[in-house]
Structure 1
Amino acid sequence: MSTTFQPNERVNWQHESDRPDSAMVYGYGKGLPIPARVVKLGAKRVQIELKVRRLYVRNSLWDSKFKWVDATTLSPRVLPCAAFHEPMQHVHAGFVLTGWKHPNGRSQVFPNGTWYPAVDGFTCGAPCGTEEQAVRDALHSLLSGGYRTALVSAISVRKHWIATDQDKNGAGAAELPELKDRLVKVETAFPPVDPTCSHVT
């Protein structure tokens, strides 16, 4: 069999099923790629390991399930999966993507804690219910321009503090160099389509 996959490689399995409980079993929405790990290569198919939730058990752990699947249903997976106990960090184009947990702890909306996506330690984006989701959202924020917009906004706010004598103890002025360095890094890695939109000064 001709394949580029190797044992222990991270992959996504594109699974379609008419079973109504299929999405519940795998813990992902119907039609969404399911995180998996390559176990071994066969003559015609690939054996993968999946993590499956036990149905109707509160706070259940993930169990391993092994399946032989067609290689065409697999694609490389770059983001970590908590069910496989993978480190919750991803590096993309030199940017370290992680999740930051708010110290206030759990809430009714986020019983496992409130997480925020972070790019190089700078939080940006909406709150998440898991660290895994926060890492995924951090990548989206980096690639969609959300991280850049957050930096531009933070720089603008601090300049306003300084201009209006609201910069208490010079905190805003002290933070500006780092924020500008971050903006230079992101605009160098992902130049604006319209150069006139650059905020690097």
Structure 2
Amino acid sequence: MNSAYKQTFFVTSVFEVRKLPPEAAAEAAFAGRSNAGKSSAINALCEQKRLAQISKTPGRTRALNFFSVDAERTLVDLPGYGYAQAPAALRRQWEALIEHYLSKRRNLRGLMLVMDIRHPLTDYDWQLLDWCQAHALPLHILLTKADKLSRGAAVSTLQKVERSLRARESDASVQRFSTLRRQGVEQAHEVLDAWLGF
């Protein structure tokens, strides 16, 4: 377990491409469907309850939120995708912001794709998986809310996802994750450590 993440603090929210911070620190980004548990995962990984804002309302994360681990490392929370009730113009704005960030950010080292273990591998997830594969961007999947399933069901879902990734010839790695039980935090830290150069 890397205690450095405990020092993480919020830096800024970015709504426009032109306001992105300088590409100074290595970055690891978190993406996922609205309400998949991105903010909860970031809080668990940083051992803080209120670092990333949690909402029961899907689509609350509307900006790129930057969190500094230290001077050389940053975590980035991307807007959740797939929220049908968001106005079309707003969805297009989010999508354009995410696409620009993922395709142009030279200091981006990897992407944590957060999925609710009860609803893994949606069409949106596959689009992002395929994009990362095509652009050689390292990707690791957190199957969140693993505590919502029995251990047997959670293991079975993990194995199904692994088989689907192999069938797609994806290089992505995957794990179970539960903020409630703090399950999978150390494994996720190991991935982040490798990306961010700890």
TM-score (norm 2): 0.25
The answer to which structure, 1 or 2, has the higher relative contact order (CA under 8 A, 6+ apart) is 2
Greater Rg, structure 1 or structure 2?
1
Which protein has the bigger helix share?
Answer: 2
